[in-house]
Structure 1
């Protein structure tokens, strides 16, 4: 209570007391605390709204429809509120202050991924879901484990991944663990155990681990005991990498892609140093065959031989590879009974190979197979002898989806030319391509637009020529951006569309049947057709600013004023059409720097229905 204003006469006591209370509230509320950790303040949106400046002495702040509906004070427009959720990217937006005070200092110990985008960038819209999957994938690199979850995690090896478990006395996974976990995620699935948690006692006792130490355990198909373990007070990153690299494959891994093939069966040109892959051809449903093969491997004389690797492939998914290997076999019955092949990979897909005569189908087959296999492998390792056949294999089918980073690179490659055009396009100094918004052009310009924003100026027949001339002059510098389109809407024909748009923006809680067209001319809408939101430039706000700076300009007309109560038509013209767009360029700046509020809708009104 030191800073309570009733007990402390310091002039700053009230402000400090308020901040202390806010700090306690933030620490006690997990959601607000998470927002503070992410943004540096408890409400990213409130902070962005409060931090905006205005060259007009604040004429465009607050609700952009304030004053439009002065008879309906209980209704507000949807700025990402209930029922209108922000996108994944928008939820994680930061500003420069947060970057400088939080992100940059922490980046020396904690890795960050920064993504810069523009609201009017169509390529960014396409990239956003890929980034969302990437970030979610990063978040799930390390699974949080306890006594209850551990066994299920270790039994998940059938996805062809080893299991690695990090132990540390911290709730969050440190970068020292997260970085190698992501690097090896194509081969190993990782989990994390907080050794200070209450629900990990059985796990620590099971593997005889000290709660104060940092540990790493690696598991293959045998979930009862790790194939490698590392435990000490401090572990170096290089030591972690060495342990993972030496144990990144299961006892019997599957060749599930070309990259797996190249890792499991490394090329060796010299015959005396050849490396052999013993490959079992197995159907997905034939787990019994693979179990027999594993039982043999655990006792095999070649289990720890660096020049011999045992693996298997699925017959269903790698049919092209199997057909190539069967070309030299007797296939009169269209199917060979042999299912174990020895491969020596000489160069990339150039290999020498031969099938073992004994197939692995029954339990007793393992004895005949072992005798033939071990005798032939021993002979090949101790000589420069080649195998029976040579061939060039097709690439293995990738049974996994491409890694997210590669998919992103592919997208950048595909979009490269378009992005280059977007950046390097120069404005046409002679004209602006300005399209009339009609039912025929509506689909292209709004509903199915591949541009980021379509700028629409609202006109009537009387003001049209002057407004469009002024509008063209203002937007001419913006024509350099291919992400923008420019159009106009005739209010005499489509005031109903604008009415429906506004009604949707307030959740259809208000009927707007008496909109005065004279108060709508000069309004500019920036429509994002894909994301279903728009920005609005209001001439009424601009008029207020003009009136404050020019005593000769009469009062603006109220949105719901009747024609009898409104200023005269002459007064509307005295407002001067040319002046309605005087604040537009500054409004554009706010749209592009992200400080202008978005208004979200459920769907775009049908222009044909009005």
Structure 2
């Protein structure tokens, strides 16, 4: 009895499958010569009208099924041809055949029949090893979002949506199996999605029918729109979705420009092949390495490629791959085989994907060239040459490139030589120049980096910079070699440490190109899914989106303008404790041995340098006030600003020397460095004199305001310095010395004059807080430019101690 029931069920199933439908043209209301667009237009109109969820008529379900069957027949070129010639309308498996009608609540007569026999009927999709191929490759919405989308940035993915009750899915199973065998070895990801279980994913992708084929590139889904699937049509679909210039055709005419384009920081790869078309494996390898390499294809049987083969001695009997760095005449790697396998091409390019002297153009490049190594004994160094995007800097880069080639055999796994464009990596350079030991002008200087973790790095500037003149180049190279070897083979700490943010991506697309690409994607989607009836709402949505995007762009542009305006008036100052404060934008140098000549000795006539004395502890408090006082003079090209760190023995010795030179006669000075904090010196390098400011020596308190050009002024200039030098504002630490100086040098009358002004200091009991040290600096600077401040003339500028 049970066997008879099974036969009866199978008989019903066969009858239903082989059921004939009436004239599909009359069902859709179109003529026999209607093209594909007319068929789609009529189908979508009728499907909306007779959809069971929208049409309450009892015949809606059967009419809707009939419309779908007619549409599927006419969209299949082979079935349509058979109907036009023979009138046969027997159902045949088709790639666009089955809708999921279960969501419409449609009666399914087979559900109850099969359940009566205690079994679940389904199509069994088998893989070669006996497993279910669709189930084996099935993914979920979570794995799609967390894994597949990210992987598609380097690996193209082909995704098939299927359902259990889908005759067409069973029909294309051999084709999917063959695609899997052909594409997986060339780095294609293959995945399937159970559309009935992963409804959210199907909705996100825009899947309406099963089976449904999607290609995923860089997170963007591309829809297969052909009515039926085959190996030829699917491969054509895959090939058409890769970017047009992903693999460029190279001939004699464009060879030089192709190989010479490495200034974009990418290596060049030439693939020699015999086929007229570019093979899929070349496209997939180009997609994987598109951020680091530019792939070119040379078809060997063309007449305009013979000289290329001869130039690089390439045989026309095998496929060949050549990798080029900066030298277009000699490849750095090559491989020749009858059929280049994907893993071999990937390994060759992976091992040579960076130029000899690559540029730090993005965070991914920085991570690859300068990896993190937290252990000091195993630290990996990154030698970075600071340049600008200017042809005049090419000699410096060429010199370091030649040095890197000669030094590649030594510690190649622990040392990488790179360069950067200062004007493009502004934040990165600001972090490196925040320390007091950074050079005044960083162009043509080398900094050696060691990354302790993702954001913290230690570094050291190469002493003397990177020289390219013949008489200085050898010295620079020896200095660099010695510094690298010292840091590699000793546990010597590096002097500076800073925190850096993510590097600016120089290759990122601008907002305009991102908008254009988005509009192209929207256009493709609308062309495949929107009819004329839906055009008006679609246009309305598109205009709304464009308006929102344009408004957002305008707002972001206005915000950027405001940020730039604020940035021009402010910059972030980081003290040695790591505290960040907002300061006016004023370049303040450190006066030390390397900068002494530029800031003092070599000043042009009429130019002066204002120097503030401080130590590491007081710098963070005094620097903002120093900036504020100097801010009105920021546009004065005759002024330079600096600070002197009195904790340096050489700095304190230099300060003592210029004080002695300013005295009428030589004497020993006992200077307490702490008392000099807050002193500001105006240095006139050309005329060899300086002026002094200190809170305990307000010159205005003496009441000396002579008229410029009078003899009285000259007499006061001779007397005033002697009276001033006897004060503790210059750093004299003992009162006895001060008394002696006052008695011996000032005289009774002058002493009485000074004493009459002493109460000004007595209000504070000779105690000043750091916040008060620069309160009178602005007024003093006004008198400085009026010429009414006291000038201490010296015969010469002393050498910097220790040089």
**How high is the TM-score relative to the length of structure 2?**
0.37
Q: Which has the higher Rg, Structure 1 or Structure 2?
A: 2
Higher relative contact order (CA 8 A, sep 6+): 1
Q: Report which of the two has the higher share of helix.
A: 2
